[in-house]
Amino acid sequence: MSKVLVIGCGGVASVAIHKCCQVSEVFTELCIASRTKSKCDKLAAELAPKTATRITTAQVDADDVQQVIDLIRACKPDLVMNIALPYQDLTIMDACLACGVNYMDTANYEPENTDDPAWRAVYEKRCREAGFSAYFDYSWQWAYRKKFEAAGLTALLGCGFDPGVTQAYCAHAKKHEFDTIDTIDILDCNGGDHGYAFATNFNPEVNLREVSAPGSYWENGHWVEIPPMSIKREYNFDQVGHKDMYLLHHEEIESLALNIPEARRIRFFMTFGQSYLDHMRCLENVGMLSTSPVDFEGQQIVPIKFLKALLPDPASLGSRTKGKTNIGCIFTGKKSGQDKTYYIYNVCDHQECYREVGSQAISYTTGVPAMCGALMLLTGKWNKLGVCTVEEFDPDPFLAALDQYGLPRRESRTPALVD
């Protein structure tokens, strides 16, 4: 019996809320709160006849700590699921600390305005010291570790698929498959087609900033940074086929380097079609990916926000998207003195997701792990205090929940390796 406050009601939150409502014996009460309350009301009305979970809704601007505190005090949840945007991570964590409530999210903090001088000074120092220049990193949220520990609370960071399930796959490999892990390649393949010339599968601002940043990977104890999209490989994905994929910086590399220190190399690859890359390069070249406000006919406009308004809403892609995703990790290492390779992954069908919860597979593969992570915290299966990432917890009950609630694992002990 527990009460959960979900902040955000976009593509991912909608899936997580659908799935929470399928586990009413744990999620007895849900409060859905977001900037636009009408979206929460619409979803609550759709789900109410189908679930025993009691649903209420609220309006909140989660950029404002006091509003979140007031909401938490009114709602009295056991857990806050932050499924808004990475920009709200710190304000929601502050509010959880003020109210003594556990916290979780699906993506690590990044600032909305990368021109903010105070943020920029810290960012530039981080770039020099750490050696990668992505806007997002864990340092902001790891800075809350002592505060969460002292308050006897847990903050679970990045519990989507990647980050999220990929780290549980790493914890599983470490626990059951290897004595030592040498290399980890995380492969994120979306073989889906939505029929638009250009659209992003999740929040366009966050997505385009991520993929237009320099890539980086972890090797021999330090970061190697490369120009955006400059390392390309082809891989033959189970049930999807041959796809081009590109090396990106991704947040879980940072925590995995810390928590699996013996790993000599950790890389992240994501598939992109040529049309997506051509559109993205063009938009970047004309300045449409900029986060700095420009003056347009007397009004201040942030180009990437204007672009977001023009692009299809990712939550609307569900009915159009056909094909499958294949996301997982390939490991090399040693078991009982022998060299070993191992691949663990999930294949998810866009149309099956749409039939079940009205969303495409990108939102589904993020929303289901968010629900399963909440389930782990609410049932006490994961109870480490402080600010934690998924690989710090026992992967067994989490992977069992994913198997049960829609993202079953597949395994291969003879995978092709990425050169």
Which residues bind to ligand NDP, rule: CB under 6 A? Answer: 7-13, 34-36, 39, 60-63, 83-86, 88, 106-107, 158, 160-164, 202-203, 206, 314-315, 366
The three-class DSSP label of residue 269 is: strand
Q: How far is the CB of 141 from ligand NDP (least distance, A)?
A: 13
Q: How far is the CB of 9 from ligand NDP (least distance, A)?
A: 4
The three-class DSSP label of residue 309 is: helix
Structure tokens at 102: 């556990």
- The answer to whether the CB of 52 falls within 8 A of the CB of 77 is no
Q: How far is the CB of 356 from ligand NDP (least distance, A)?
A: 17
- Specify the residue, 12 or 187, whose C-beta has the smaller distance to ligand NDP: 12
Q: How far is the CB of 319 from ligand NDP (least distance, A)?
A: 16
- Specify the residue, 151 or 327, whose C-beta has the smaller distance to ligand NDP: 327
Q: How far is the CB of 372 from ligand NDP (least distance, A)?
A: 13
- Specify the residue, 39 or 172, whose C-beta has the smaller distance to ligand NDP: 39
- Specify the residue, 6 or 23, whose C-beta has the smaller distance to ligand NDP: 6
Structure tokens at 274: 């040529």
Structure tokens at 130: 């750490």
- Specify the residue, 132 or 202, whose C-beta has the smaller distance to ligand NDP: 202
Q: How far is the CB of 35 from ligand NDP (least distance, A)?
A: 3
Q: How far is the CB of 93 from ligand NDP (least distance, A)?
A: 14
Query: Phi then psi for 329, rounded to 5 degrees?
Result: -130, 135
Residue in the structure block whose two tokens are 């006897």: 152
- Specify the residue, 86 or 386, whose C-beta has the smaller distance to ligand NDP: 86
Residue in the structure block whose two tokens are 């308050």: 151
Strands 102-105, 154-157: pairing is parallel
Q: How far is the CB of 176 from ligand NDP (least distance, A)?
A: 23
The three-class DSSP label of residue 67 is: helix
- Specify the residue, 86 or 328, whose C-beta has the smaller distance to ligand NDP: 86
The three-class DSSP label of residue 181 is: strand
- The answer to whether the CB of 202 falls within 8 A of the CB of 314 is yes
Strands 294-296, 324-335: pairing is unpaired
DSSP output for 105-153? ESS----S-TT-HHHHHHHHHHHHHHS---S--SHHHHTTHHHHHHTT-
Query: Phi then psi for 106, rounded to 5 degrees?
Result: -120, -5
- Specify the residue, 39 or 340, whose C-beta has the smaller distance to ligand NDP: 39
CA distance 183 to 90: 32
- Specify the residue, 83 or 101, whose C-beta has the smaller distance to ligand NDP: 83
End-to-end CA distance of the chain: 49
- Specify the residue, 19 or 340, whose C-beta has the smaller distance to ligand NDP: 19
DSSP output for 369-408? HHHHHHHHHHTTSS---EEEEGGGS-HHHHHHHHHHHT--
Q: How far is the CB of 204 from ligand NDP (least distance, A)?
A: 8
Beta bridge partners of 329: 186, 344
Strands, E, within 220-309: which ranges? 222-226, 232-237, 241-247, 265-271, 294-296, 299-301
Q: Which residue is nearest to ligand NDP (CB)?
A: 10
Q: How far is the CB of 235 from ligand NDP (least distance, A)?
A: 19
